[in-house]
């Protein structure tokens, strides 16, 4: 380290302060924090690669299957649209796990490193920091989600067009599911952020969120009671999937997309409320 003799601190400010704490600044701060971590960059790249890759695999598999028995050219428009959507959003089933982990890590990474104390010392009212984290994470994940699913649509198109299939992205039956999938990823990230804030531990937060997505639905489906079956559509991952997936992928008895969105928003609201209450109450 270089020698240092400077011990003055440039105190040209002896009068009133030039700048102050504000929500726009906190938003900027959280954006800097999000984009300057490698884990964020890798997670988002992984989401894009997964979604595009799965679209390629899915569309090739379906197209090959059709080459033999099915006559693609005779397929009704609605069925063609469904094929495109299926292939484009298929990767989201895997990408949701990446996004959930990222959402947890965005805040538990601060707890495990001690960064949270710097964050809360700079924003001592605390809630603006949480709100800014959520907002930045939501927007970034939504944008990455749109890039992924729209990209996946074009990958699918590249494969299907060779078989004479087509579905236009300007058709709302195509672009709404693509946007819906991106919206689900963004909301899931915010939900995971809330869980991470509540449990303050990476392992605990990731465990809870992944169990909710992967384990709970399976366990409920194995319970041979009516109540268990009627609860399933209200689970975060099932409602989330129903926001964008064609009926052939969700099993039929799920709710409509808008109703599912409301259920997902309910999960996010519960998580965010719990996080807000605990963050303001607890010592940092």
- CA distance linking residue 160 with residue 73, whole number of Å: 11
Q: Which of 45, 77, 78, 118 binds other proteins (CB under 8 A)?
A: 118
d(CA 47, CA 101): 12
What string marks each residue from 255 to 284 as x (binds other proteins by CB under 8 A) or -? Answer: ----------------------------xx
Residues touching other proteins, count (CB under 8 A): 45
| 41 contributes a contact to other proteins by CB under 8 A | no
Smallest separation (angstroms) from other proteins to the CB of 136: 11
Among 50, 110, 141, 209, binds other proteins (CB under 8 A): 110
Determine the interface stretch with other proteins among 113-121, 174-182, 187-195, 270-278 (rule: CB under 8 A): 113-121
Could you tell me if 280 and 127 are in contact, meaning their C-beta atoms sit under 8 angstroms apart? yes
Q: Which helix (H) or strand (E) holds 182?
A: helix 172-199
Locate all alpha helices (DSSP H) within 69-162, ordered by sequence. 77-89, 92-113, 115-122, 127-160
- Kindly tell me the burial class for residue 13, based on how many C-beta atoms sit within 10 Å of its own C-beta (0-12, 13-18, 19 or more): exposed
Shortest Cβ 236–other proteins spacing (Å) = 28
Residue whose CB is less far from other proteins, 146 or 200 = 200
Do 49 and 94 meet the contact criterion of CB atoms below 8 Å apart? no
Cα angle 201, 203, 205; round to 5: 65
120 scored as a contact of other proteins (CB under 8 A): yes
Residue 32 binds other proteins (CB under 8 A): yes
Task: Report CA-CA distances (Å) from 43 to 102, 141, 192.
Answer: 7, 10, 14
Q: Is 172 in the site for other proteins (CB under 8 A)?
A: no
122 binds other proteins (CB under 8 A): yes
CB-based contacts of 16: which residues, under 8 Å, 6+ apart? none
* Smallest distance, other proteins to C-beta of residue 111, A: 10
Question: Is the Cβ of residue 73 or residue 281 nearer to other proteins in the bound state?
Answer: 281
Pick between residue 112 and residue 259 the one whose CB is nearest to other proteins: 112
Distance in Å, CB of 259 to other proteins, minimum: 39
Nearest distance from C-beta of residue 50 to other proteins, angstroms: 22
Distance CA 57, CA 181 (A): 19
Q: Is 73 in the site for other proteins (CB under 8 A)?
A: no
Find the shortest distance in angstroms from Cβ 95 to other proteins: 22
User: Does 222 participate in binding other proteins (rule CB under 8 A)?
Assistant: no
DSSP string of 197-223? HHH--HHHHHHHHHIIIIIHHHHHHHS
Q: For binding to other proteins (CB under 8 A), which residues are involved?
A: 1-4, 6-11, 13-14, 17, 19-22, 24-26, 28-30, 32-33, 36-39, 109-110, 113-118, 120-125, 283-284
């Amino acid at each position: 380290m270089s020698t240092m003799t400077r011990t003055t601190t440039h105190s040209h400010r002896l009068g009133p302060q030039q700048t102050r704490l504000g929500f726009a600044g906190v938003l900027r701060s959280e954006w800097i924090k999000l984009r300057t971590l490698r884990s964020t960059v890798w997670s988002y790249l992984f989401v894009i690669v997964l979604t595009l890759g799965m679209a390629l695999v899915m569309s090739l598999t379906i197209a090959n299957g059709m080459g033999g028995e099915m006559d693609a050219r005779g397929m009704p428009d609605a069925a063609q649209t469904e094929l495109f959507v299926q292939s484009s959003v298929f990767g989201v089933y895997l990408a949701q796990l990446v996004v959930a982990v990222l959402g947890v890590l965005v805040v538990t990474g601060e707890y495990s490193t001690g960064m949270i104390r710097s964050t809360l010392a700079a924003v001592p009212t605390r809630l603006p920091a949480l709100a800014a984290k959520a907002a930045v994470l939501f927007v970034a994940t939504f944008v990455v989600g749109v890039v992924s699913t729209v990209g996946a649509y074009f990958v699918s198109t590249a494969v299907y067009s060779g078989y004479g299939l087509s579905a236009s992205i300007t058709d709302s039956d195509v672009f709404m599911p693509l946007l819906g999938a991106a919206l689900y990823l963004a909301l899931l990230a915010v939900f995971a952020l809330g869980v991470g804030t509540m449990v303050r531990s990476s392992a605990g937060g990731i465990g809870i969120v992944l169990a909710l997505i992967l384990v709970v639905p399976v366990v409920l489906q194995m319970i041979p009671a009516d109540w268990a079956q009627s609860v399933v559509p209200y689970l975060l991952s099932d409602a989330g999937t129903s926001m964008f997936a064609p009926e052939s992928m969700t099993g039929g008895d799920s709710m409509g997309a808008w109703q599912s969105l409301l259920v997902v928003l309910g999960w996010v609201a519960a998580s965010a409320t719990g996080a807000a209450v605990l963050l303001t109450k607890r010592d940092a």
